[in-house]
């Protein structure tokens, strides 16, 4: 089991000050990010009327995980994780602000939007890997499932409010206002991080090896654990669909006559499903085996995804999206808490960087391919391609022995 922080392991999470500071700051930051994320494709579609251009922006935001995650993971295990998170948030704030500033000087271009998304995505790699590695420092191992569920609930609540809030700001106050709100949310995150007392890593020896050797150690640990290796690949496959779904949903909603504000409402309805999944994720984790939850989650996604092509109204699109959003937090609570509970603290950055390279590295493919398929073949063929991938993942997961036989948290993992 990894070393934990200095928090009282017998105290409930709601009395863990440092965890609440970390959680609260990230909920506010997620609110700002979801407010701007739904606006990026709306802004690009308004400028270019090209789904392919919107898909490229999504790909650029996810692309840095392919290039940076492995070296960043090793660096996170060397550096002060809190400082990395603070500097990353400051940089993301500046990148986001570049868009309304360019608007104010009538200098906004598609290339500037692409640059802002690429910078924001690059700094997200640093922040995200450091944040994941920091969580076991402020939360004891037996509370990781509860913390993961609470994180999902908070982020789900932000997801409910964020898209409608962003679309409202975009439509009512100007296209640059949602990005200003996002920049403010990054500032709140910085303030919350400055208030956390627990160090985000354990003490380490001063000697350092070459970066490639440290990266290789993380790779060997993950690749030697059959379950964690498969979960990284499964999550990567599911994230191809996750990256493609927002643009598919927006185009379908537009075809059904939805306006920009209604698109925000659809994403907010989906957020309600995310909240529900977050609230029950910890309960499901305690009552069902790991394999039952993972296979069941992929099966539900396979069942719900084709319904997007069948529903006749934007409201029902939101209902189907809510069902899919329910599945995500349950899946994440189980696999995330399991993973963190068995990775040694000295390897948290490196192993999680490898995991997230495999999990997020395929997202640019999903984002770019969705725009290409929608523009060339139409939105329904793009949706069916996503469904075929989920069906293949379901068959592979149901047949995987490591998933079916995984031990509960606190016992040795399958290897």
pLDDT-derived band at 410 (thresholds 50, 70, 90) equals very low
pLDDT in tens, 367-397: 778 888 888 888 889 889 999 999 999 999 9
Overall average pLDDT of the 69-94 stretch: 88
What pLDDT was estimated at residue 207?
57
* pLDDT at residue 247 greater than cutoff 60: yes
Indicate the pLDDT class of residue 414, thresholds 50, 70 and 90: very low
- Stretch among 150-164, 173-187, 216-230, 328-342 having the lowest mean pLDDT: 150-164
Q: Position of tokens 């957020």?
A: 271
- Tell me the C-alpha distance between 351 and 343, whole Å: 7
- Across 314-330, average pLDDT: 88
> What are the tens digits of pLDDT across the range 99-145?
999 998 988 889 999 999 899 889 988 998 888 888 888 888 777 77
Q: Looking at residue 415, what is its pLDDT?
A: 37
Within 8 A by CB and 6+ apart from 155, the residues are 26, 27, 30, 274, 278
Residue-range domain boundaries for the chain:
14-196+211-404
Q: What is the pLDDT of residue 412?
A: 44
Phi, psi of 203 (to 5 degrees): -65, 145
Q: With 60 as the cut, is the pLDDT of residue 48 above it?
A: yes
Structure tokens at 197: 């007392």
In this structure, CATH architecture of domain 14-196+211-404: Up-down Bundle (1.20)
Confidence at residue 88, expressed as pLDDT on a 0 to 100 scale: 94
Q: How high does pLDDT run on average in the chain?
A: 83
pLDDT tens by residue, 12-36: 777 788 888 988 898 898 888 888 8
pLDDT higher than threshold 80 for residue 209:
no
Closest CA to 261 of 175, 167, 166: 167
Query: Does residue 77 or residue 389 have the better pLDDT?
Result: 389
Distance, CA of 123 to CA of 95 (rounded, Å): 10
For residues 347-365, give the mean pLDDT: 79
Residue with token string 């439509």: 171
Structure tokens at 163: 């898209």
pLDDT of 302 above 50: yes
Mean pLDDT of the 386-413 span: 82
CA distance 204 to 150: 30
pTM (2 decimals)?
Answer: 0.67
Give the helix/strand (H/E) hosting 31: helix 17-37
Using pLDDT thresholds of 50, 70 and 90, give the confidence band for residue 203.
Answer: low
Residues 6+ apart with CB under 8 A from 219: 70, 350, 354
């Amino acid at each position: 089991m990894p070393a934990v922080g200095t928090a009282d392991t017998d105290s409930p999470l709601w009395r863990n000050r440092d965890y609440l500071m970390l959680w609260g700051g990230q909920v506010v930051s997620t609110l700002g990010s979801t407010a701007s994320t739904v606006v990026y494709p709306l802004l690009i579609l308004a400028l270019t009327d090209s789904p392919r251009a919107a898909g490229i922006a999504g790909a650029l935001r996810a692309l840095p995980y392919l290039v940076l995650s492995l070296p960043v993971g090793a660096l996170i295990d060397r550096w002060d994780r809190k400082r990395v998170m603070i500097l990353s948030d400051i940089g993301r704030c500046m990148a986001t602000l570049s868009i309304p500033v360019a608007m104010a000087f009538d200098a906004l271009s598609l290339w500037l939007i692409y640059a802002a998304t690429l910078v924001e995505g690059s700094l997200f790699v640093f922040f995200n890997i450091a944040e994941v590695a920091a969580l076991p420092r402020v939360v004891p191992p037996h509370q990781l499932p509860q913390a993961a569920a609470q994180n999902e609930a908070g982020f789900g609540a932000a997801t409910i409010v964020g898209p409608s809030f962003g679309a409202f700001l975009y439509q009512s106050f100007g296209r640059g206002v949602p990005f200003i709100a996002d920049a403010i949310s990054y500032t709140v995150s910085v303030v919350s991080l400055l208030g956390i007392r627990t160090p985000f890593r354990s003490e380490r020896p001063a000697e350092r090896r070459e970066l490639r050797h440290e990266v290789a150690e993380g790779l060997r640990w993950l690749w030697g654990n059959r379950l964690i290796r498969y979960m990284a690949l499964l999550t990567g496959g599911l994230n191809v669909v996750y990256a493609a779904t927002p643009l598919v949903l927006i185009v379908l909603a537009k075809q059904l006559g939805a306006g920009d504000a209604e698109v925000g409402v659809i994403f907010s309805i989906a957020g309600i499903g995310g909240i529900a999944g977050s609230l029950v994720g910890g309960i499901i984790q305690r009552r069902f085996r790991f394999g039952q939850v993972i296979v069941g989650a992929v099966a539900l996604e396979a069942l719900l995804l084709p319904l997007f092509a069948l529903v006749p109204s934007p409201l029902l699109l939101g209902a189907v999206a809510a069902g899919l959003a329910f599945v995500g937090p349950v899946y994440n609570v189980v696999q995330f808490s399991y993973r963190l509970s068995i990775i040694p603290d000295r390897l948290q950055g490196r192993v999680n960087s490898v995991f997230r390279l495999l999990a997020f590295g395929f997202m640019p493919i999903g984002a770019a391919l969705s725009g290409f398929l929608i523009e060339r073949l139409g939105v329904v063929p793009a949706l069916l391609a996503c469904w075929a991938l989920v069906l293949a993942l379901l068959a592979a997961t149901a047949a995987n022995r490591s998933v079916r036989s995984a031990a509960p948290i606190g016992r040795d993992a399958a290897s």
